Structure 1
Amino acid sequence: MPNLPQAIAAFITSTNAHDADAILATFAPGATVADDGKTHGTEAEIRAWIASHLIEPRVVITPKTYADGRLVASGDGDFPGGPLDFAFDFETHGDAITSVSIAPA
């Protein structure tokens, strides 16, 4: 596994544990998530995204590479076509994620 900043490592660990509260805790107040053509910017929107995109499909993220805020990882779960590679473009401040944009890699 690549050497990851604490916030990103915590995001992956809590995602793989399917712990919605722990995932949400990795985000700073005012953080944004851009995925599937939508940007989620409130706590309620991010919580709903976590439930529908990470928890319900039981996603497991396996990091491949990391450089300059960009994590390329395999994502597998209860969805068709998996595993799939995704690029996660993170911005962090301290130990919290301030934004992440996710796209196919």
Structure 2
Amino acid sequence: MSVNGPAPALPDVVNRYLTAHHIRDKESALAAFHEGATVTDDGSTYTGRAAIGQWLGEAASEYTYTTELLGAESPDENHHVVTNRLEGDFPGGRVDLRFRFTLRAGLIEDLTIAP
């Protein structure tokens, strides 16, 4: 898996999550979330660190792919959108995904991943 790197204008917690997710460091990625945070990915929602940790473990091992950062925007200080292109051995082989982050008190409160 390769990546161009996180956008420097994003908050530290978003960059830390993206970097940890990229290198498949589940514990560091999980540390970026509030205890009661939610993640919505591929039609399923995971609530709380235990469920998010399980999702991180499954998501990291299911497919092999590369990631290319296409862009990032921050409508306000608590909402950030990162667009990545994934290419790999998953159905379809290529997809542009938006990672929509909502932050609270310096941690991720909600992450929605969708085209």
Fold in common (TM above 0.5): yes
| Distance in 2 separating the partners of 1:25 and 1:76 | 27
Report which stretch shifted further, 65-74 or 13-22: 65-74
Bigger Rg, structure 1 or 2:
2
| 1:90 is the counterpart of 2:101 | yes
| Distance in 2 separating the partners of 1:88 and 1:82 | 18
Identity in percent: 30
Larger relative contact order, structure 1 or 2 (CA cutoff 8 Å, min sep 6): 1
Task: Please list, as runs of the form range in 1=range in 2, the aligned pairs for 1:41-52 lying within 5 A after superposition.
Answer: 41-52=47-58
**TM-score, with normalisation over the residues of structure 2?**
0.77
Report which stretch shifted further, 80-89 or 55-64: 55-64
Query: Which among 82, 86, 92 is matched to residue 75 of structure 1?
Result: 86
Flag structure 1 segments of 5+ consecutive residues without an equivalent: none
Flag structure 2 segments of 5+ consecutive residues without an equivalent: 1-5
| Distance in 1 separating the partners of 2:21 and 2:27 | 10
RMSD: 1.9
